[in-house]
């Protein structure tokens, strides 16, 4: 998840709000990695969790969860993150096959795609997040002697600041096709910041570029406070996601992209559960029902 929340204390060099949510996703990826029917493998995820004292007792495999897959947090929610990882992996790999050689991870968190995906050797991965998150990730990866498969450029910047200038300074070329991922990011941003971010991507992306992001339909989020996913996350590991999510009106980012000439499609996570045969399905009082995964392309002339 992203590194852009405005508050909270540091946990082992990681921002305590967004850092813990990033570690939650890392734990979910670790659990997914160890499954016999894994959708995505991230061998580094477990090491991030174990490197943060606040997460010392979190599970990193489903066998460590007493209720197993019936646990709303480490079963259903973790499987959601595993599915999301796989879907965005596939999107990224398809985009580079189509010609993009610049990858931009907005709110990169503990993303390790530069280390674990079979990307073309001439790819460059730009990872944008706050310095504390990137520093923590680098310490863990350096301790493992991990080597990225392609050129990787960490860009320490708050996405509320001049991230566009920082990205260009880091070598991003607006004239070349690029693929952008905003995974688990936009929920945390005020509407105007999301609009600026999407507009900036639209300006920076050359023809032939692609963008994937996660959005939430504008609903009364507090109506889901007792949803099993949010309640168990709050009760088991002390992360109140509804407190972290921005409560303001959400912009129509899909409409803005479409108006700017992009093609865009919006899907529910359940669409991909059916496609892969694994992942969450709808249930009553479902906090996931408003989640949407958006895939956009800027066509060539």
Q: What is the pLDDT of residues 56-67, one digit of tens each?
A: 899 999 999 999
Laid out side by side, the sheet with 178-182 consists of: 151-156, 124-129, 102-106, 178-182, 210-216, 291-297, 263-267
Report the distance separating Cα 3 and Cα 22, nearest Å. Answer: 8
Q: What is the pLDDT of residue 220?
A: 72
Coil, helix or strand for 5? coil
Report domain extents, the chain: 10-297
CA distances from 185 to 118, 145, 204, 260 (A): 24, 28, 19, 22
- pLDDT tens-digit series, residues 9-56: 344 445 444 489 999 999 999 999 999 999 999 999 999 999 999 998
* Phi, psi for residue 213 in degrees, rounded to 5: -150, 165
Which residues, listed in sequence order, are joined to residue 129 by a DSSP beta bridge? 156
| Widest distance between CA atoms in the chain | 55
**pTM score, two decimals?**
0.94
Residues 6+ apart with CB under 8 A from 4: 18, 107, 130, 158, 159, 160, 185, 188, 189, 193
Tell me: the pLDDT tens digits for 252-266?
999 999 999 999 999
The CATH architecture assigned to 10-297 reads 3-Layer(aba) Sandwich (3.40)
Between the two ends of the chain, the Cα-to-Cα distance in Å is 34
Lowest mean pLDDT among 77-81, 82-86, 188-192: 188-192
pLDDT at residue 14, as a whole number: 53
Q: How confident is the model at residue 223 (pLDDT cuts 50, 70, 90)?
A: confident
- Residue where the block lists tokens 């507009």: 199
Q: Is 178 helix (H, G, I), strand (E, B) or coil?
A: strand
Q: What average pLDDT score do residues 233-251 get?
A: 93
Confidence of residue 7 (pLDDT cuts 50, 70, 90): very low
Strand 291-297, strand 263-267: pairing: antiparallel
Coil/strand/helix, residue 120: coil
Helix or strand run (H / E) with residue 168: helix 163-169
């Amino acid at each position: 998840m992203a590194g852009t929340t405005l508050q909270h204390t540091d946990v082992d060099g990681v921002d305590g709000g967004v850092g813990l949510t990033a570690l939650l996703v890392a734990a979910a990826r670790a659990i997914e990695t160890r499954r016999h029917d894994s959708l995505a493998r991230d061998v580094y995820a477990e090491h991030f969790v174990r490197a943060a004292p606040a997460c010392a007792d979190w599970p990193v495999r489903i066998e460590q969860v007493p209720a197993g897959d019936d646990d709303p947090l480490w079963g259903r929610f973790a499987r959601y993150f595993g599915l999301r990882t796989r879907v965005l992996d596939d999107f990224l790999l398809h985009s580079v096959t189509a010609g993009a050689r610049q990858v931009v991870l907005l709110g990169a968190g503990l993303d390790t795609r530069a280390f674990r995906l079979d990307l073309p050797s001439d790819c460059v991965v730009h990872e944008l997040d706050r310095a504390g998150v990137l520093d923590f990730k680098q310490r863990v990866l350096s301790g493992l002697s991990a080597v990225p498969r392609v050129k990787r450029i960490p860009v320490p910047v708050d996405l509320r600041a001049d991230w566009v200038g920082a990205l260009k300074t880091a070598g991003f070329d607006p004239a070349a096709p690029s693929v952008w991922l905003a995974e688990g990011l936009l929920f945390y941003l005020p509407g105007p910041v999301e609009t600026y971010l999407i507009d900036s991507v639209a300006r920076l992306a050359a023809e032939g570029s692609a963008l994937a992001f996660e959005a939430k339909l504008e609903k009364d989020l507090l109506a889901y406070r007792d949803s099993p996913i949010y309640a168990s996350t709050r009760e088991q590991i002390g992360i109140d996601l509804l407190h972290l999510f921005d409560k303001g009106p959400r912009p129509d980012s899909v409409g803005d992209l479409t108006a700017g000439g992009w093609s865009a499609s919006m899907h529910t996570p359940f669409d991909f559960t059916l496609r892969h045969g694994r992942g969450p399905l709808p249930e009553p009082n479902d906090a996931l029902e408003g989640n949407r995964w958006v895939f956009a392309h800027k066509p060539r002339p």
